[in-house]
Structures are given as structure tokens and as C-alpha cells.
Amino acid sequence: MNMKLSLPHTVGQWCKNILTRPALAVTVSVLWLIVIGWIAYGWNLGNIGLVDETEPLFAEASRQMFVTGDWITPFFNAQTRFDKPALIYWCQAIAYGILGVNEWAARIPSALAAMGTVALAFYTVHWSLARKDELEQVSRPVRRYLTAGLAATVMALTPEMIAWGRIGVSDMLLTGCIASALLCFFLGYAQNSQFPSNKWYWACYVLVAGAILTKGPVGIVLPAIIIGAFVIYQGNLVEVWRQMRPLVGLLIILGLSVPWYALVIWRNGWNYINSFFGYHNIERFTEVVNGHSAPWYFYFLVVLLGFAPYSVYLPAAMIRLQFWQRSHWRSQARSQQLGLFACIWFLGVFGFFTIAVTKLPSYVLPLMPAAAILVALLWSDLIPEPEADNHKSVIASKSFVWSSWVNVIFLSAIAAALFHVAQLVGNDPAAPELYQSMQQMGLPAMGGMIWLLVAIIIAAFTLTRRWQWIITANLLGFVLFFIVVLMPALFVMDQQRQQPLRELSAIAAQVEQPKEELIMLGFKKPSVVFYSHKTVNYISSAPEVVDYIHKQNAQPAKLNSLLLLAEKDRFLAMDLQPEEYKHIASKGAYYLVRVPVKKIKKQKLDISYSVPTNTIQNSKLSQ
């Protein structure tokens, strides 16, 4: 019996001993947050190149801001970029000034936003449970620290949070601002004191301003919907309104966010208003933009996979709350309403973007912190104290037991998909050997074995009713999968897809002649602009390239030559003769050539991309 109970008892005693030394408790907590933050967001953060298409758009716009000193209007490839407000560009530009212009600097704002959100969630959960112990006049330090640590760990180690926390775009910064604003609101709300003495409300307003500067009106609309729904459901709207003094808060928000909007509108006028507010906000909510349409159940799949493997426990976590029992929640102390608040937070984000017509996986990223809190609170009921009667087994709810078996089925399905990944995915023309390389390294098979093993272990824990260890199996399985499979896969993808473009971009910058243009034929890869530091002219087809060359010949100031970057098939379709171009380099699926403008014959205007390539491929590849 001592052997059976030794591990939980030892963990509990260890946590209890730490609490007798507050400085050590804080130190261990901080070290744990650093470890999980580094694994999820810091490890190899800058060792993988920028990923086309979206990330280089942000990185290059920030580089332009850093180089030109224009901190008002973002530019990309010599054109204004009005997709997003300025905060992400400011953060990346500042990082360039500290770390240099590189991938680390482009991604560090996202990584820090994710780690900051994880840390604040840890504090909030621990604080709420500490208040609960005070109300019940008990001391349950193990439950407090393990639940808070679990919330932080689950939040950090989810596919969606890792994906957007390791890439230099605005989504994680927006999530960090919105999630932190909501957590600050709850801490202020739970303390039941008035603004301005309640500093958490101050922080909430500042973070909402940051969200507005990150992605626009959604930065205030989402928090307002969630907070409004919460206080209305609790029936204390008037009381909270008086405590928060939202008119003063609105002045703070406007004072921090409006000056940049005023300046960028003053400089760019209706072009900015129509592009940002019209196209990138109103139209994205009411119409399909850039082909990003999806069925109504799209976000069910996004949450299932993006919050995997813990997503199967979300229904049980909500059932546990019994959020429909309004009278029960209204009778609870404010500090004990964190579960209800997280539930409304989750449903608010999910519902808002389900209604929106344009749909993207990153849109529901702000609900991931709420999901992690819900799952952690579910597991908190299964954490025993060292002083508790260990002869008694922890009783799990029926919904939890069913969720455990769904967990087993879900992980088995993931394992099966990995074993057959070659049949499930198509060919990538930009990296035709990508999946073959992964198969040769055995990555899909290793991933399948990991999740199959975790499924078997969870089934064993479920049968033996060792509920506390199921979440540990999920977490350790995810960490192992991330380290052994996902990270090597990312390096292979970078080597196959992005490295050829980086190398050709560097070569183009080195061999560039005065006033020589760089043309990208048939595809758009913004990373070329970032790595070459050149303005790139995107032209969709080979005939258009030839037509463009002849138009340049007709200009008074003629170009002597241009650099052409193209996929091999599209370059071969141009049917250029050896004397009409100079081969500079070829990497992966791409060619970089120099085309003397005057040597292109007029009849080349008649070519089309449909020209068969098999008849000329051998001769061209030997050039």
C-alpha cells in the first residue's frame, strides 16, 4: 500500500513543504512557467525561416518601419499595408533594434505575449482557489498549485497556442491583449472594489487599447461582449458599471489607441478607412474575403484539433459547472465565479466568430486560455491532499469517465491518421520531396506510435480509475510528440519549402546590378522581399513577363536586364533560348536567371503556360 500511494503522497508533501517558504514557492512557480514557456515558444524559435505567405508580410513591413523611421504608415514591397494596425509592427521593429533583423526578433513579440498570458492565467487560477480556501477555512496548497500549474501547462502546450505563439503575426499579440484584459477584469471584479483604486481595471483598459492597436475594433468588441454577457447573467450590471466607471475607462482606451488611427487617417485618408475598416473588418464579418469560407461546424473542428488532446474534456468541464443554474452562481462569492466567467468567455468567442462569414483557424485563438482554465478546474476535483484519506479513491463523474474513453478513441484516430499520412495528404509542388523525406525519417510512424501508446496508457488508467494521471499522460504525450516529431518535421518543411527561397533571395541581393528589377513569375512568396531586401514585381504568367519586358524596351530609360525568379515548370514554359538568359542559380523547385531585356524576341509574346514542358525539359535543365 505504501508503494501504491507513495507518488501522490510525495508530490503533496513536496508542495506543502514549499509553501512553508514563500520565496521558494514563488521561485519554483516562476521556474516552471519559464520551462513550459521555453519548450512551447522559445526552443528553436529563430532557427526556422519565415513561413510564407503571411509571416513575411508582417516581418517585412516592420523592417521597413525600422529602416525608414516611418512609424505611422506600414509598407510592404513599396506599397501601403493597411491589413492590421501598428502595434505588431512597433513591437517587431523594436525587437529588430535590440536583436537585429532576423527571425528571432520577428517572432519574439508573439512568444512573449503567449508566455505572459500563461503566467497571468497561473496567477488568476491560484488566486481564485486561495480565496476559496479562505472562504471554506481550509488549506489545500497542493490543489491550488497543481491546478494553477495545470491551467498554465495545458494553455502553453496546445497546438493552436504553439502554432501562433511561434510565428511573427498579430494573432497571438491580439490573444495576449484580449485574454490578459479579461483576466484583469475578473481579478478586479472579484476584489469588489471601485476604480480607480482597483488597479486591475486600469490594466484591463490599457490591454483593451493594446488589442485595438493590434487588430482594430474586435479588440474592444470581444471583451465588451464577454464582460457584458457575464455581468448581465449574474444580474449585477449596474453595480459593476459603477465600480468600473467605464466612461473613464473609455477615455483611457481612446487616449491610448486613437492617436495612431488619427495620424494614419490624416496621412492616408479614405484609402485607409476603406481598406482597414471597410474591407478588413466589416466585409470580413459580413462577407467571404479571400476565399476563406467554411461550414458552420468549422470551429468545432478547429477547437477539437487546435486544443487537442484536451479538447475532448471540454463538454465535461462545462457540464461540471452547471452554468445553467443561475441562482447557484449568483449566490457564489465573486472570486468563485472564475469557472462561469471562463465558460462565457469560451462561448462568446466561439459564437462571435461562428456568426462571422469569413472564417480562419486563428480567429478562435482568444478562446484557448478559457478552454485551458475550464479543463484545469475540471481536474482540480480529482487532486487529493496529502492529509486526505488516501484509502478512498477519487470519484469521477460519468461525463468525465465518458470523456476519458473518448480521449482513447480520439488519440487512436490520430495515431491511425499518422500511420496513413502519405495517403491523406496531397503533393506539394513547392516541395515535391517533403512527405517522402518525412517518411524516410520515420516521423509519421513515430508520431503514430507515441499517440497509440498514450491511448493505451489512458485506457489502463481509466480501467484502474487512476483519474489524476490521465492528464499527465496527455501532457507528456504531447511534449514527446512535439520534441520527437513536430520539431524535426518543421525543420524538414523549412529545408524543403523555405530554404531554397532564402538562398536564392540572398544570391539575388548579391548579384544585383544597378537598377535591375527582380520579377517573381507565377507565384507570390513574400519571404523573398524580406530576405532580398528588394522590391519584387509579381507577374502571374510567362506571357505577361515577356510583355512587360517589351514595354520596358519602349521606355526612354530602358533596363539592361532583370532578375527572374520562377518555378522550374513556369520558367521552362517561357521557352527561352540559351542566348536569351543567364542561369544564376537553382534551388529546390525554383530558378533564378538574368534576362537581358533587348534579347527577348517579339514572337515570345505568343507563348502560354500551356506549352508542354516534357519536350524541352531535358535541354533546359542542362543549361
| Cβ-based neighbour number of residue 53 at 10 Å | 11
For 287-320, letters b (16+ CB in 10 Å) and e give eeeeeeebeeebbeebbebbbbbbbbbbebbbbb
Confidence of residue 517 (pLDDT cuts 50, 70, 90): confident
pLDDT tens digit string along 491-510?
Answer: 999 998 889 999 999 998 89
Say what the pLDDT of residue 281 is: 78
**Cell triple for 284:** 470580413
pLDDT tens for 521-544 read: 888 899 999 999 988 988 888 778
Give the pLDDT confidence of 302-338 residue by residue, as tens digits: 999 999 999 999 999 999 998 888 888 888 889 899 9
Mean pLDDT within 61-86: 93
| Closest alpha carbon to 571 in 551, 545, 605, 535 | 545
Read off the pLDDT of residues 281-290 as tens digits, 9 standing for 90 and up.
777 777 777 6
Q: Cβ(376)–Cβ(154) under 8 Å?
A: yes
What pLDDT shows up at residue 313? 95
CA atoms within 13 A on the CB side of 45: 23
CA-wise closest residue to 219 among 162, 283, 173? 173
The pLDDT score that the predictor gives to residue 607 is 40
With b for 16 or more beta-carbon neighbours within 10 A and e for fewer, the 249-262 pattern comes to beebbeebbeebbe
Better pLDDT: 548 or 446 = 446
Residue 389 has pLDDT above 80, yes or no: no
Phi, psi of 46 (to 5 degrees): -105, 10
Residue 14 — very low, low, confident or very high, per pLDDT cuts 50/70/90? low
Each residue's pLDDT tens digit, 144-189: 888 999 999 999 999 999 999 999 999 999 999 999 999 999 999 9
pLDDT of residue 8: 52
Percent of the chain exceeding pLDDT 70 equals 88
Q: Give me the mean pLDDT over the 66-79 stretch.
A: 93
pTM: 0.90
